[in-house]
Amino acid sequence: MKNIIFDQSLITPKINITYDFMVNALDTISWKELLWGIKNHIINSDVINAIAYDKYCLDDENDQILLLTYQNEDDYSFLHNLCLLSSKEDTDIDYNKLLYLILFWLYSNQEKYNDPMKIIELIYANFDYPESLKSFIGYESYDGKCFGRQYMYDNWFRYINENKLKYKSINR
């Protein structure tokens, strides 16, 4: 996927992924993916310090993380500097992981929205119409057939479970 900019202007309430949700959904998230989440206003800013603490306790880059934590930088600068310092990070952002995280959060919070399927259509457009979402997009049809709402919800649930297996191990 190309560089994705996530527009939440038509989504109310805004997607706001918390630390607790994130660690239950993903085994790992890179500094660059966190930076993308902050820049696109989907990740709660409290997540940054908690992730930095986790990585400080578990990572080899302890001195760099600790130094940056105490410089009182804003979230964007802090993450940007960590991206520059980190030698282990992949150069690319895994947009499929972020898409899964957003859709899992939405699924878990769907009661907050009048029509979560319309929100999914906005996400689908924001992420440049990924093939992996077609089976639960209302205006997409398959083999000339239109499927009902329950079919789309079932496919949304299936998508989340398939990606959970990819991004979250059961033993952690």
Nearest residue to 34 via CA among 71, 70, 72, 86: 86
What are the structural domain ranges in the chain?
Answer: 19-85, 95-167
DSSP secondary structure, 74-129, as one string: -HHHHHHHHHHH-SSS-SS--HHHHHHHHHHHHHHTGGGSS-HHHHHHHHHHHTT-
Question: In DSSP terms, which residues pair with 142 in a beta bridge?
Answer: 145
Token pair 């600068």: residue: 77
Q: Give 40 or 75, the one with higher predicted confidence.
A: 40
Q: Residue 4: its pLDDT value, please?
A: 82
Report pLDDT digits (tens) over 118-141.
999 999 999 999 999 998 887 765
Confidence of residue 71 (pLDDT cuts 50, 70, 90): low
Question: In DSSP terms, which residues pair with 17 in a beta bridge?
Answer: 43
Average pLDDT over residues 104-109: 97
